Chain A
């Protein structure tokens, strides 16, 4: 073991400096840049981008599904912190995702910019000179015509020009013609790449100038698209409070219907949030129904319906009858259980002490084995079960509290048992602490407000990319060449005039026509070439008699 170690140390040092001397920092940078801008790396990055967004759609994300993340933490206590560390709950904002995104962007820029110059160049350049030996091209044909070479060439130019070929003639009187067609292929290729860039820029635009917000609104209430009124607000990097669309939405009512029979009993059939909105303060009021796949569009902002639930209405009075709380309180449905929902009521201004209630709302209540369960999501037989607490809610100082949780530190349970209430029933709390009435219930809808200025450009660029891709697949670049010579023994046709006759001096000429497809993935050039050759020959034959009579 010990003998083996010195050996590499002796052998390697001469090798490394030698290669470093040739391959310096600049070379490494250039190598890295070439790698980055290669098609292979771009494809790998694109694949990684797709792969990276998989956890974004599989796992609950912090931006959109806060509750889902909390739920995931509960059900996977060991795995969740690890995933969180890897940014799996905020994939699209994670540094590794940004790294893929930015590298892909750099790769595409590095790929497209040189291509743009290349295309601009190739769009201007003419086809190459016709090869000397046309017969060696993949496709070729030759025939004799009675036309003199110059006229034969002119006819060929007219026919090929009529087919949209770009032509090049010798210019020095020698009888050849080059023609090329299919420049659209490069244009399509370029369109595809530029559109991909456009898609990325559009997404960045959305990230900078877009915003997303969540709002839970109880039926009968209204809210405004202003930062202080939104439950969650995720602004783009360049969005300020004054950039929000100044609309106000009132949830007039919310209706949910459920399947009432069959194996899908209790599954949702339809949700409908009936809203009245105005696009700006004092603006005209309009009504709309927001449904799951039918967002409201207002002032360039989309408002989606993403959830719903129940908000039981409670009224809390002090012992002397003074009302200290009256309002609908949103409860959150458990993941399963037919909208069995939980929530809390905080009464910070009650006396002699602050009151808190932790409750369960059961839309269609039954007792099963001594416990309360909901057998249907609609509120057919609503009941609340409340646990009452008295003391200090912790709301008079300290950090902002969750409206769905009680800070138990300063609270004492007032009664040993939870208390059940049907709508209209009142529970008088022990010890003169007051009373709570379950007045009834409202429904709430949770809305997601998104403004993404990059959405439309992204769609357009996406269509552009698709169009470009189609063009580059369907259009072939192909070249054809024509050489016209005076008939002679070298013409190889055997029936020409005698040897030594100068070009153009004979009564006719030999037309050699050849072609090749530069890119022929889809095939079919052979047929095109054959039809071109036939057309050329026909044109020459048609012209020949006229030429003769003209002589």
Chain B
């Protein structure tokens, strides 16, 4: 029995069009960060990011009150290298990295590096207990409703706690660790930013 084939071309075209639609719908998955220019990853991990000079996003300014009740204006840190750590007393990874941060803060202070904490979704009592327990001697700004984090997340993709940013003397974000820091990652970032280097 002969099979009529008047629409073969059309069917092939239609099938191709469908395949294209499917490819577009399905294919958009998994293409997250392909690595933008001026951004490199430390140690080949995507959670420690270095922004090169000229590609550094400007850190948003903020004001707040420290856990001990002192008003703090972030702009007053301009001219210094700042390590800005977003943490909470309830956060396991924050507890894990706290000893490292405590040691690093003491070690870097003579070199003119300031450490500053942003305490998220916490009560002052719980946060103060954490600070006392972990010998943290740098100030932290209370951010119980994540408003400071919100202003930063339009600049760097903060998706979880902890997040640590290294900010250069001009107030630009030079490095970011999304998740728990390691001693080597953070010292490497501080060293390059302190020396004014690019990466």
Compute the total of residue contacts between A and B using a CB distance below 8 Å: 142
Question: Residues of B at under 8 Å CB distance from A?
Answer: 1, 3, 5, 8, 10-11, 14-15, 17-18, 21-22, 25, 28-29, 86, 89-93, 95-96, 120-121, 123-126, 128-130, 132-133, 144-147, 149-151, 153-154, 157-161, 163
Contact of B150 among A33, A224, A238, A350 (CB under 8 A): A224
Starting from the known contacts A106-B21, A109-B14, A226-B149, 7 additional A-B residue pairs (CB-CB under 8 Å) come to: A22-B3, A33-B11, A110-B14, A114-B14, A327-B126, A346-B90, A403-B90
The answer to whether residues A228 and B8 also contact, given A326-B126, A395-B95, A397-B96 and a CB cut-off of 8 A, is no
Is B145 within 8 A of A227, CB to CB?
no
Q: Could you write out 20 A-B pairs with CB less than 8 Å apart?
A: A22-B1, A33-B14, A105-B21, A109-B14, A208-B28, A222-B144, A222-B147, A223-B146, A226-B153, A227-B158, A227-B160, A228-B159, A228-B161, A229-B145, A237-B28, A326-B126, A346-B90, A349-B89, A399-B92, A400-B93
Give the size range of A's interface with the partner: 35 or more
Is B14 within 8 A of A400, CB to CB?
no
Instruction: Answer whether residue A100 sits at the interface, using C-beta atoms and an 8 A cutoff.
Output: no
Instruction: Answer whether residue A16 sits at the interface, using C-beta atoms and an 8 A cutoff.
Output: no
Which 5 A-B residue pairs are closest in the complex by CB-CB distance? Answer: A222-B145, A326-B125, A349-B129, A229-B146, A327-B123
The answer to whether residues A228 and B14 also contact, given A23-B3, A248-B145, A325-B129 and a CB cut-off of 8 A, is no
Is A221 within 8 A of B125, CB to CB?
no
Is A26 within 8 A of B130, CB to CB?
no
Contact of B153 among A27, A106, A242, A347 (CB under 8 A): A242
Is A281 within 8 A of B18, CB to CB?
no
Interface centre among A240, A327, A351, A398 (most CB of B within 10 A): A327
Residues of B within 8 A of A109 (CB): 14, 17-18, 21
Is B92 within 8 A of A240, CB to CB?
no
Q: Scoring A residues 448 to 471 as 1 if CB is less than 8 Å from chain B, else 0, what string do you get?
A: 000000000000000000000000
A398 CA to B93 CA in the complex, in Å?
Answer: 8
How far in angstroms is the closest Cβ of chain B from A237? 5
Q: Which residue of B lies closest to A225 (CB)?
A: B150
Q: Scoring A residues 70 to 109 as 1 if CB is less than 8 Å from chain B, else 0, what string do you get?
A: 0000000000000000000000000000000010011001
Question: Residues of A at under 8 Å CB distance from B?
Answer: 22-23, 26-27, 29-30, 33, 102, 105-106, 109-110, 113-114, 204, 208, 221-229, 237-238, 240-242, 244, 246, 248, 250, 281, 315, 322-327, 346-351, 395-401, 403
A208 CA to B25 CA in the complex, in Å?
Answer: 9
Residues of B within 8 A of A395 (CB): 92, 95
A323 CA to B90 CA in the complex, in Å?
Answer: 16
The answer to whether residues A327 and B92 also contact, given A110-B18, A226-B150 and a CB cut-off of 8 A, is no
A23 CA to B128 CA in the complex, in Å?
Answer: 79
Is A248 within 8 A of B147, CB to CB?
yes
Contact of B158 among A226, A250, A346, A350 (CB under 8 A): A226
A6 CA to B28 CA in the complex, in Å?
Answer: 53
How far in angstroms is the closest Cβ of chain A from B180? 10
Contact of B18 among A106, A204, A240, A324 (CB under 8 A): A106
How far in angstroms is the closest Cβ of chain B from A318? 9
